[in-house]
Structure 1
Amino acid sequence: MSERDSGSSGRARATTQPTARASFGAFVRKPVERPVANAEKAPAAQEMCAESAQSWPDDAVEVGAIVDAYGLKGWVKVAAHADAGQGGDALLSAKRWWLENGRERKSAPRLQSKVHGDSIVAHLAGTADRDAAFALRGYRVYVRRSDFPALNADEYYWVDLLGLDVVNEAGVELGKVAGLINNGAQSVLRIEYPATGKDGQPVTDERLIPFVGVYVKTVDQAAKKIVVDWEADY
């Protein structure tokens, strides 16, 4: 066995021992090269369109934000929450992007996208020139979870781990996954659990458990449970 944590997705691998990996956002770097992804040109009718809360997909996951225009032909520059190859490649493969800025929502077919330095640049339907692309600056970019690339059996997107119950091998409940942290060496589960404060009032406390094979024994997404080799008093 083996998203910046703001509800974004990420990829984590439980390894037999911690190994150093560079990372971007909420994803552990996996040493693999990804080719530039070019979607087929969308039909003319499939241009950028307005969306509402009702038409917004239930499985939309924030994966980046448009920070600038790129070039003169309508391309945008995206600061991705994860590097391509660690889950940010959803920006390279999803056929449609969902955009949100405040209360305004829209979506557009992705015509082309590619890695450019530490960001991703893309051409969306409906942005024919630099001015149109610049007008999208500040929009957060979402991709449907169903459009995320498939993972290996020992890899998990962070968004799929959030909310899972964590118990140890003795069956003691340790809390729920509230977030993940990348410390440069491995992913770390941030687990919240109810506790009592010094004033006797209920508070929320947290545990940090490295997401490595020596501690994480099983991840059962269907049962929404993670079993760890970890004591409650650690």
Structure 2
Amino acid sequence: MSERDSGSSGRAKAASRAKASGQASFGAFVRKPVERTEDTAKVNVATAASEAAEMRAETAASWPADAVEVGAIVDAYGLKGWVKVAAHADAGRGGDALLSAKRWWLLRGQERRSAPSSQAKTHGDSVVARLGGVADRDAALAMRGSRVYISRSEFPALEADEFYWVDLIGLDVVNLAGINLGKVAGMIDNGAQSVLRIEYPATDKTGKPVADERLIPFVGVFVKTVDQAAKQIVVDWEADY
């Protein structure tokens, strides 16, 4: 089984919400003149297109339920409003969600915003992008510190033996003998492969309940099946390893 990593959004080979506002009710209509109605329709379409191309304020209610943090804006890039993002994973290893997503969801402190991504590309070990509503370098600099989220539904599709880290976290891990080894609490990238970080209940020397952990490389020799529907990973690993 091959694997890839993105921080929380990483992928091991082994969220946009449209908001309707100001629209006429279903039964509303305009009688005449036809010419004016057509002009109004054109204006409405142009206005909607303009609003879609700009940054907008969001709330916890309008935030995508499947939003996954994928990076943070760390600087401006150039003079024309591009921003520089430190991604939680390299493009091609989960960070490519930044390159393909149509809308970025931005959180800084308690302020929530979203912006359409008109262009995004890799630049060295970062991602640079042009966002709607960010017209110049000063506006881009004002975006520093914003955490970037992407709707999970906008992540690129994977091959059959690939998995995003975010989809593995929380799955039960059992061995071939059916012994439960715990739950995936996180993932680690050691440079060569992804590693499952599995937490399980244990006791310390005084008998006090504690959470212990075991690490299992996410490679085919150890990981036999990943059943996301059953929320279970089966591994060839003994409980006393």
TM-score of the alignment, normalized to the shorter chain, above 0.5: yes
Give the whole-Å Cα distance in 2 for the aligned partners of 1:183 and 1:68.
27
Residue pairs, 1:44-193, within 5 angstroms: 44-46=50-52, 47-193=54-200
Q: In structure 2, give the amino acid aligned to 1:62.
A: E
- 8 A contact 1:9–1:157 mirrored in 2: yes
Root mean square deviation, CA, Å? 1.1
What is the Cα deviation at residue 13 of structure 1? 2.4
Segments ≥4 residues shifted beyond 4 Å:
none
Q: Is residue 91–residue 143 contact of structure 1 (8 Å, CA) maintained in 2?
A: yes
Q: Within 1, Cα distance between the matches of 2:13 and 2:94?
A: 12
Query: Whose helix fraction is larger, Structure 1's or Structure 2's?
Result: 2
Deviation at 1:43, TM superposition (A): 2.6
Q: Identify the structure with the greater strand proportion.
A: 1
Deviation of the 1:184 alpha carbon: 1.5
Partner of 1:195: 202
* Structure 1 residue 117, shift from structure 2 partner: 1.0
Q: Identity of paired residues, percent?
A: 78
Secondary structure in structure 2 of the residue aligned to 1:44: helix
- Please tell me whether the aligned partners of residues 191 and 206 of structure 1 are also in contact (alpha carbons under 8 angstroms): yes
Give the structure-1-normalised TM-score: 0.85
Aligned position for 1:233: 240
Name stretches of at least 5 consecutive residues in structure 1 with no aligned partner: 15-41
CA displacement 1:31-55 (0-9 Å, x = unmatched): xxxxxxxxxxx93121101111111
Number of aligned residues: 204
Aligned to 2:31: none
How many angstroms does 1:104 deviate by? 0.5
- Note the alpha carbon deviations across 1:145-174, whole angstroms, 9 max, x for none: 000000111110000000000000111000
